[in-house]
Amino acid sequence: MSNFIIYLNNIDYFAIIDLVVIITLSTILLVFFKRRNNIKLALIFMLYMTALAGVSIATALTDNNILYVTAQLLSTGVIFIMMAFCVVYQQDLKSIVTRFSKWRETKDVISYGNNDDDLRYAARELVKACQTLSKNDIGALIIITPNNIPNHLLDTGTILSAKISNGLLQSIFNTKAPLHDGAVIIKENVILGAGCFLPICQREDISKELGTRHRAAIGITEESDVLAIVVSEETGIISIVKRGEIKRYMTPEKLLEEIECAYGLNYSHNKHKKR
Question: Is 80 exceeded by the pLDDT of residue 128?
Answer: yes
Residue 67 pLDDT grade (very low, low, confident, very high; cuts 50, 70, 90): low
Element containing residue 143 per DSSP (H, E): strand 140-144
- 183-187 and 140-144 as β-strands: parallel, antiparallel, unpaired? parallel
Lowest mean pLDDT among 9-23, 89-103, 153-167: 89-103
Question: Is 50 exceeded by the pLDDT of residue 136?
Answer: yes
**Which of 97-106, 200-209, 257-266 has maximum average pLDDT?**
257-266
Residue 268 pLDDT grade (very low, low, confident, very high; cuts 50, 70, 90): very low
Residue 265 pLDDT grade (very low, low, confident, very high; cuts 50, 70, 90): confident
Angle at 42 between CA 50 and CA 53, to 5 degrees: 10
Q: State mean pLDDT over 107-125.
A: 77
Question: Largest Cα–Cα distance of the chain, in whole Å?
Answer: 82
Alpha helical stretches, state H, 137-211: 151-155, 166-172
CB atoms within 10 A of CB 3: 11
Contact 27, 33 (CB under 8 A): no
Secondary structure of residue 110 in the 3-state scheme: coil
Percent pLDDT > 70 in the chain is 69
Domain 107-274 CATH class label: alpha beta
Rounded Cα distance between 197 and 66, Å, is 55
**Which of 125-139, 177-191, 220-234 has maximum average pLDDT?**
125-139
CB atoms within 10 A of CB 22: 13
**Which of the pair, 112 or 248, is modelled with greater confidence?**
248
Q: State mean pLDDT over 226-237.
A: 95
| The 3-state secondary structure of 16-27, one letter per residue | HHHHHHHHHHHH
Residue 80 has what pLDDT?
76
Rounded Cα distance between 184 and 165, Å, is 12
Phi-psi region of 37 (alpha: psi -120 to 50; beta: other; left: phi over 0): left
Question: Is 50 exceeded by the pLDDT of residue 215?
Answer: yes
Name the DSSP class of 181. Answer: T
Contact 218, 244 (CB under 8 A): yes
Question: Is 70 exceeded by the pLDDT of residue 275?
Answer: no
pTM: 0.64
Residue 186 pLDDT grade (very low, low, confident, very high; cuts 50, 70, 90): very high
239: β partners: 230
Task: Of 180, 187, 95, give the one whose Cα is nearest residue 141.
Answer: 180
Q: Where are the domains of the chain?
A: 2-88, 107-274
Lowest mean pLDDT among 51-60, 75-84, 117-126: 51-60
Phi-psi region of 109 (alpha: psi -120 to 50; beta: other; left: phi over 0): beta
The HSE-up count of residue 106 (CA atoms within 13 Å, CB side) is 24
Question: Is 50 exceeded by the pLDDT of residue 114?
Answer: yes
**Which of the pair, 200 or 113, is modelled with greater confidence?**
200
